[in-house]
Amino acid sequence: MSFELFVQCFENGKPSGIPRDAIRDAFGAFLSEPESSYWHLSFGPRESCSLFLSPLAGAPSHVHSITVERPCADLRLWQGLAQLLAHDHTVLYFPGCPGPLLLNPQTARHLPRDMFDGLGDPIVVAVGQDILRCIEAA
């Protein structure tokens, strides 16, 4: 897939963070960390993608934003992303998405209001396949 998707964390409309260890746990042995802000996922010779991490200001052990460049089709990527959405107030979106994707409906209260103006109403997902279906339907 040739596009980018974004995972961000907010609390009361302001940037918040996901612990770097949570990202490591979500992707396990498939993850390599060539640089502190560039990580790589490889699920096989033709199933890989890059992660660009933006640290949370003042908390380098936490990431405010993850950009997934050219997400692959391997379901383990999508399961890992769903696992990240389980963290407090975390949202996933992509160009052309029908709305920000959340695992917990209560997360919507913490997102910046202008996010809804740009993306639409939130969509609750439960598993990685739900995220993939939203992308395929867009």
Predicted confidence band of residue 138 (pLDDT cuts 50, 70, 90): confident
Q: Mean pLDDT over all residues of the chain? A: 94
Cβ pair 100, 124 in contact under 8 A: no
CA distance 101 to 109: 13
- Residue 85 phi/psi, 5-degree rounding, is -65, -15
Does residue 126 register a pLDDT over 70? yes
Query: Quick one: pLDDT at residue 1?
Result: 57
**3-class SS of residue 79:** helix
- How many percent of the chain have pLDDT more than 90? 86
Does residue 48 register a pLDDT over 90? yes
- What does the block give as tokens for 72? 């692959």
pLDDT tens sequence across 81-123? 999 999 989 999 999 899 999 999 999 999 998 998 889 999 9
Average pLDDT over every residue of 8-20? 96
Q: How much is the pTM?
A: 0.94
